[in-house]
Amino acid sequence: MVHARPAEEDDGARHFRLDETGEALRTALSDPSGQSWVTLPDASEAESAAPAEEVPAALRPDRTYLVTGGLGGLGLVTARKLITLGARHLTLVSRSGRPTEEAVPVLADLAEDAELDLVRADIGRAEDVRQLVRHLAAGPHPVGGIVHAAGAYDKKLIAELTWEAIDAQLEAKAYGGWLLHEAAQSSFPELDFFVTYSSIASVLGGATQGHYAAASAALDALAEWRGRRGVPGLSVNWGAWARVGMSARLEEHLSQEIERSGVRFFSPTRALDTLARLWGRPRTQRVVGEFDWDRYVAGSVTGDLFYDRLARNASDDDSGLDLTALAALPPAERTAAVTGVVREKVAAVLHLEEGDELNPNTEFVSLGLDSLMAQQVKAALEQAFRLPLSASLTHDHPTVRQLAQFLCGQLEPAPAA
């Protein structure tokens, strides 16, 4: 159901701006059981126009715009945005050269407003790129802009990575980006923009994303290098797009885990509106997404001073527990205080809402505490109590009560000699 009134951002519903109404309707139709909110601006917001520099420049109808990964989810929504900005000639490149069944109606809709050229090419292979360059050179319009949205993704832990898996990631993103850069240097002198679709993974990292982060980091470096040479270059470290690209293939529990980590899914409309305002600016790398930094930093296993300072004001700094006073408490009071801290840290890692009851006798595994969460609990308690703790802490002491009793034993004053 689509609602047209403000809602709380953490109410579990999906939120859209007024200019994203079409996307809200598509979302509601695809998931009738969910709620989608369209937030109406108040009068002051409606009257305030964007500054002139925030308005994206129109694209030229006498130029061809190239989108790699053009038949994938990100490529198609990018093509739609380019057409909205005035593009009338698009070359959409993909490995297969053939649209999926889901893409056919989207292409038909796009073709009503622009000429579409579907080209089969593996953008990570030099010969394919040379053929693509010859194909574009034979066309009636010079290339005015490139969006490199091609990529591949598969989940692998560091220990599972092989060179073949790493190379597959590098080929689609990094090798393809470099070959397009070389092609632009030699054959596309009139580019207004050269945009690569990188990932937040190269900034924040991520489990199962080591090879994906490396490929994205290569695109970040390429954009910086192009910028230093005085030619267009922008690498966008995208956060989590909603319902397209990699996020469309995620299992539900993984999507929920991403949200719990503090990385928010955001709409393609909002993403591409932001992109259109960025590619004419001097910066060569931008992180674009929606994040709850406090929640993200709270989930860090090791702690990170950079993100601590990014996410929190100095005035919010908590100096921690007074361990001397805690140790001096009578045993019953000390146990109650330590139990309260343990309960708070475990609840934070589990992302329990305020008021949710956490039974101190329930085993952690029954609460859904996995191995990564266990390390987050360990790190939080080490920071709170300033004690070195075992990696097997929650396994050895598998309930709040048992864990609190163990910590109380560590905090007991040493007996007088």
Distance CA 37, CA 83 (A): 27
User: According to the model, what pLDDT value does residue 45 have?
Assistant: 47
Distance CA 399, CA 343 (A): 10
User: According to the model, what pLDDT value does residue 7 have?
Assistant: 46
Distance CA 16, CA 18 (A): 7
Cβ within 8 Å of residue 376, ≥6 positions away: 299, 300, 301, 349
User: According to the model, what pLDDT value does residue 328 have?
Assistant: 83
Q: Measuring CA to CA, how many Å separate 122 from each of 90, 129, 194, 203, 308?
A: 18, 7, 19, 27, 41
CB 338 within 8 A of CB 408: yes
- Please state the three-class secondary structure of the chain as a single string: CEECCCCCCCCCCEEEEHHHHHHHHHHHHHCCCCCEEEECCCHHHHHCCCCHHHCCCCCCCCCEEEEECCCCHHHHHHHHHHHHCCCCEEEEEECCCCCCCCHHHHHHHHHCCCEEEEEECCCCCHHHHHHHHHHHHCCCCCEEEEEECCCCCCCECHHHCCHHHHHHHHHHHHHHHHHHHHHHHHHCCCCCEEEEEEECHHHHCCCCEHHHHHHHHHHHHHHHHHHHCCCCCEEEEECEECCCHHHHHCCHHHHHHHHHHCEEEECHHHHHHHHHHHCCCCCCEEEECEECHHHHHHCCCCCCHHHHHHHCCHHHCCCCCCHHHHHHCCHHHHHHHHHHHHHHHHHHHCCCCCCCCCCCCCCHHHHCCCHHHHHHHHHHHHHHHCCCCCCCHHHHCCCHHHHHHHHHHHHCCCCCC
User: According to the model, what pLDDT value does residue 294 have?
Assistant: 67
User: According to the model, what pLDDT value does residue 243 have?
Assistant: 60
| Low-confidence stretches of the chain (pLDDT beneath 70) | 1-57, 207, 243-257, 294-295, 297-320, 354-355, 413-417
User: According to the model, what pLDDT value does residue 60 have?
Assistant: 93
| pTM greater than the 0.75 cutoff | no
User: According to the model, what pLDDT value does residue 66 have?
Assistant: 97
User: According to the model, what pLDDT value does residue 320 have?
Assistant: 61
Shortest CA distance to 68 belongs to which of 187, 149, 145? 149
| Structure-block tokens of residue 215 | 């490929």
